[in-house]
Amino acid sequence: DIQMTQSPSSLSASVGDRVTITCRASQDISNYLAWFQQKPGKAPKSLIYAASSLQSGVPSKFSGSGSGTDFTLTISSLQPEDFATYYCQQYNSYPRTFGQGTKVEIK
């Protein structure tokens, strides 16, 4: 199975900050990497697929990059509605695997 490791596990940031979350795969997954956002009590929301393609309706302050084993999710200017937990997931092979999540909190 492919292991996905996110860092950091949590971070504190202020409104307006630029935030970067990293995700590392235990083997080459090409660009088969997706990012999701989940707020407490809500369903996950799909943000990015194919490592860098924005889902329809997702604001351009979110961006993704990377290929192979190393990936990043960047939020260019953090807003109050962005405080949430973010997950990466590989869809290169089954079983699909998620990272453990990164909780973005208000400083």
What residue ranges bind other proteins (CB under 8 A)? 1, 32, 34, 36, 38, 43-46, 49-50, 55, 85, 87, 89, 91, 94-101
- Convert 28-78 into a string of H (helix), E (strand) and C (coil): CCCCCEEEEEECCCCCCEEEEECCCEECCCCCCCEEEEEECCEEEEEECCC
Q: How far is the CB of 32 from other proteins (least distance, A)?
A: 8
The nearer residue to other proteins, 69 or 89, going by C-beta atoms, is 89
Q: Which two tokens stand for residue 46?
A: 């799909």
Q: How far is the CB of 15 from other proteins (least distance, A)?
A: 25
Nearer to other proteins, 75 or 88 (CB): 88
For other proteins, the closer CB: 14 or 81: 81
